[in-house]
Structures are given as structure tokens and as C-alpha cells.
A and B are shown apart, each in its own frame.
Chain A
Amino acid sequence: DAKTTQPNSMESNEEEPVHLPCNHSTISGTDYIHWYRQLPSQGPEYVIHGLTSNVNNRMASLAIAEDRKSSTLILHRATLRDAAVYYCTPMEYGNKLVFGAGTILRVKS
């Protein structure tokens, strides 16, 4: 299983952009990079995924380094509802999903 490294915690002000980094230097060439988040007292929810190109959806953007050894989840305008634990995880072709410790995002009003 590919290993991931994320900061333990980050803090942001409301309405400001947030860049959440993830290192996945052991990722294989066919693994997609998935991001999930877990709001307090809830199950994880899917945020975004990508392979090589940068990706955008209604929740966030994903910037993937050219060598694919790292990626950055971008929340363009953080709100209090974005306070959560954010996990990046490589998705292997067998679709087994293994989580690391994640980053606790705190959003200040």
C-alpha cells in the first residue's frame, strides 16, 4: 500500500483559501489520488480525485505535482462548515481504500 504524509493540523480564516498538502511519494503510476473529509461525528465523504491533471468540482480543486509524488487540495473560500479531518489516499486498482491520519482543518470566524 502506498504511504501518505499530511500535516497533523492546519488553521484557516473564514472566506480565505486553504491549501492542504499531501505527500505520496510511493504512489504507483496507476493509482488515483482520492481525497475524503470527515465532519465531526459523521462518516467520511468523498471530496475529489485525480490521476495526473488538475481537477475541479463544486467542492474543491485538486492540484497534482508533475511527478505525482504530492498533491494539494484547495478549498477556494473556507467556511465554518469545512472544518473537518481531510484524508488523501491513493486508490489502488483493486479499489481497496486505506486511510492515513489525515489533516485536522480548523476554520476561524
Chain B
Amino acid sequence: NAGVTQTPKFQVLKTGQSMTLQCAQDMNHEYMSWYRQDPGMGLRLIHYSVGAGITDQGEVPNGYNVSRSTTEDFPLRLLSAAPSQTSVYFCASSSPGTPTRHYTFGSGTRLTVV
């Protein structure tokens, strides 16, 4: 099993450009989430999904869109990149049901907006 795969690993964008961060998992997990981590800071929840077709906002959703058309994929779209979105982005997935199901995280995408 590959687990949670994030692509690309590194990306540099110009202000105003748009792009999609990809996240895929092969564990048949219903729950998926996106986090951002600014330098020296903790993780903040951007958006999460409890299943295909269902998404909800987290703590810092502004400037980001998500959709969940399949169980496996949960892409994060930056609509118009801003320097404040320079961060490391982590995707995570989990099985649904009881709160004993822990999350598996990807290795992250390091995004720089210039």
C-alpha cells in the first residue's frame, strides 16, 4: 500500500496563479482532510471530507476550494495564490466510524508563492 500520496512535493507559484494540490489514498478511507503548516507553527485544518460528495470547511478555508468526486482523491485548489499561502500542505485520511480510527498523513507539499 502506498498510503497517502501528495503531489507535487515542491511548487513555486507567482501571485495570482492558480493550481491544484493532489492527494490520493489507497486505503479506502472515507475521511480526508487538508492542513497547512506555516514555518514554526502547528497544523491548521483547511477543509475536510467525510465521504465522496461531502466536504466542509475547517479553521482556515478562505482562498481554497475542494471537491470529493471519488473516495480515493481529495484535491485542494488555490484559486488565486497569495504570498500568505506560502506554507507546507498536508493531506490526511482516516476510516470513518469510531474515534479510535487514527489518521494517516502524506509527506506534504511545500508551496512558495512569490
Contact = CB atoms under 8 A, between A and B. Distances in A.
Interface in A43-76: 43-46, 49
A44 B105 contact: yes
A100 B105 contact: no
Interface string B86-102: 00001010101111111
Contacts of B108: 42-43
Given A97-B33, A99-B43, A31 B104 contact: no
A101 interface: yes
A44 B94 contact: no
B96 A99 contact: no
B42 interface: yes
Interface residues of A, number: 25
A92 B108 CA distance: 24
- Interface SS of chain A: loop
B57 to A, nearest CB: 11
A91 B105 contact: no
A2 B12 CA distance: 36
B99 A32 contact: yes
A99 B42 contact: yes
A96 B48 contact: yes
Contact of A46 (B97, B98, B102): B102
9 contacts: A30-B99, A36-B103, A44-B103, A91-B100, A93-B99, A95-B31, A97-B33, A97-B92, A97-B94
Interface of A: 30-32, 34, 36, 42-46, 49, 85, 87, 91-102
